[in-house]
Amino acid sequence: MKRSQKVCLLLALAGLVMLIITVITAVYVGFHQLLEQTIMNWSDHYQPSSLEEAQELAPYNICAPSYLPAEINPSPIIRYLDVWPDNSAELIFGYNQRDTTERWVEIRQWYRPSEQYYDPNIASLEKSLVVWLVGWDRTEEILGEVTTDVTRYETDGVDRWLVEIVAPVSLRGSVVEWTDGKTTYRVYSVLESEETVTIANSICSYNQTGDE
> What is the model's pLDDT at position 22?
64
Q: What is the distance between the alpha carbons of residues 126 and 161, in angstroms, rounded to a whole number?
A: 11
Cβ atoms of 178 and 107 closer than 8 Å = no
- Where does the pLDDT of residue 36 fall: very low under 50, low under 70, confident under 90, or very high at 90 and above? very low
DSSP H or E segment with residue 131:
helix 122-134
- pTM for this structure? 0.77
Q: Let me know whether 91 and 176 are in one domain.
A: yes
d(CA 211, CA 203): 14
Asked whether residue 23 falls in the same domain as residue 128, the answer is: no
Q: How many domains are there within the chain?
A: 2
Range of the structural domain that residue 101 is part of? 44-209
Instruction: Pick the more confident residue, 176 or 30.
Output: 176
Average pLDDT of the chain, as a whole number: 85
Identify the pLDDT of residue 185. Answer: 96
pLDDT at 112 over 80: yes
Do the beta carbons of residue 156 and residue 178 sit within 8 Å?
Answer: no
In the predicted model, what is the mean pLDDT of residues 175-197? Answer: 96
Averaged pLDDT for residues 134-144: 91
The answer to whether residues 149 and 201 belong to one domain is: yes
pLDDT at residue 29 above 50? no
